[in-house]
Copies of this chain bind each other. A is one copy, B any other.
């Protein structure tokens, strides 16, 4: 499960992408997206620190996308907020760590299986951008059947 925080971050970015150059103030995002205002502020600061959004302070300030929407991937947002996408530390790109109790990484059956899971998750998350998510369902979706029902 992805965290609530990550969901909020993605929702905020989708809203900012829709707003375009006009940008949005935190209160507005919080209200329309049903995100606790103060929590959202922290999230936007995180997104700002890594250069995904920027902000203007003071009256008529607000938040704006800094990177173009088609250059912000779900993967990078998730890694920022929730940490590694990989299901095992020994499969993480951004935070590789040997499993402390693992004899041989080469021969680890569990690692071998989850490597596939990690790869296919990355295939989706690192290729899908905020802009992609905003385009109408039919367009970028070859697998539309998976998307509308609880499978």
Q: Which residues of B contact A90 (CB under 8 A)?
A: 150
Interface on chain A toward B: helix, strand, loop, or mixed SS? helix
Q: Which of B10, B116, B132 contacts A143 (CB 8 A)?
A: B116
* Complex: A119 Cα to B110 Cα, angstroms: 20
| A47 nearest CB across to chain B (Å) | 16
When C-beta atoms are compared, the residue in chain B nearest to A14 turns out to be B109
* Complex: A109 Cα to B61 Cα, angstroms: 27
A150-B117 in contact (CB<8A): no
| A113 nearest CB across to chain B (Å) | 5
* Complex: A146 Cα to B101 Cα, angstroms: 21
Q: Which residues of B contact A2 (CB under 8 A)?
A: 87-88, 114
